[in-house]
Amino acid sequence: MDDIKIAAISMVSRPANPRENIKKHIEWIEKAIPYKVDWCLFPEMSITGFCFDRNFFQASEAFNGPSTQKMIEVAKKYNITIGFGVAEKDHSDIIRNTYVLVSPEGFLGRYRKTHIPPLEYTIEAGAEEFTVIETKKARVGVNICFDNWFCESGRISYLNGAEIIIAPFYMCWGSDDIRTNPLKAYNDWRELAMINFRAVAWQNGVYHITINSCGGVNEKGVEYYGPPLIIIINPLGEIEAETKPGQTTEQMVIHTLKADTLIKRRCDALFHPRFRKPHIYKKISEESF
């Protein structure tokens, strides 16, 4: 891994409206460019936008489709690597929640959401692989939203070579949202994240980058008011950067991920993966039903 200066962006994505959402991506990339960032990273389904009816099906695209091609053009124009979410439809019209990385050199790779929560069963299917994407500066794993609540997701991503885990979200949590009590909405979300994500980063010696989609949507049968939360946790389990609590509008966090911090954790005498005993963990892979 090399040092990487990133812009993590929590933005509003319009349901089933890739064209409008791509324009928003470009606007944010143009805001990030003066900071000389290497990567711009966006939330879950940032290009397609969530929708739970036929609009979602119609807005989905084939692998490496027109939205991805457009984002490759943007990456070339601004000489930057971009991570974004898109609904990917295969030749059998099965849709998957996909996160894509592109660069000035073109398509780098994709990860397709593995764990599908009940609300999304009607619109997408889960994948079966924790893909790690090779970039010039780091090996990147992705755990999309619900994936992050399973400890296996982070560990298998690490075992597959990840040095960074991007965690794009589209989620509300708790009894309040940014309309009713934005500070509580943020703190409830953050408290849940702290139960899980610091451990994922520390136990696996990875950077963990949480990027939640900004709320403010009430259209096409979708109502979503989640907090614009971004949290960057280093391989020592320390929070290095995050959004200010209580925000209600789109946010951007600029931060440099340091290779030395990853090296420090992985050289630690008590770097946990070094002491794994996979031959006694067979129970983990057994079906529980």
Domains of the chain and any CATH numbers: 4-285 (3.60.110.10)
The reported pTM is 0.97
Local structure of 249: helix, strand or coil:
coil
Interval 221-225 mean pLDDT: 95
> What is the strand order of the sheet 239-242 is part of?
132-134, 139-142, 164-169, 207-212, 230-233, 239-242
Is 285 a residue whose pLDDT tops 90?
no
Digit-coded pLDDT (tens) for 65-108: 999 999 999 999 999 999 999 999 999 999 999 999 999 999 99
Q: Cα-Cα-Cα-Cα dihedral of 192, 194, 196, 200, to 10°?
A: 160
289 pLDDT tier (thresholds 50, 70, 90): low
Distance, first Cα to last Cα, the chain: 40
Q: How many whole angstroms separate alpha carbon 95 and alpha carbon 121?
A: 10
Digit-coded pLDDT (tens) for 248-272: 999 999 999 999 999 999 999 999 9
- Of 263, 262, 147, nearest to 197 by C-alpha is 147
- Residues in CB range of 170: below 8 A, 6 or more apart: 13, 43, 44, 45, 50, 145, 212, 213, 224, 226
Digit-coded pLDDT (tens) for 236-245: 999 999 999 9
210 pLDDT tier (thresholds 50, 70, 90): very high
- Average model confidence (pLDDT) across the chain: 97
Interval 52-57 mean pLDDT: 91
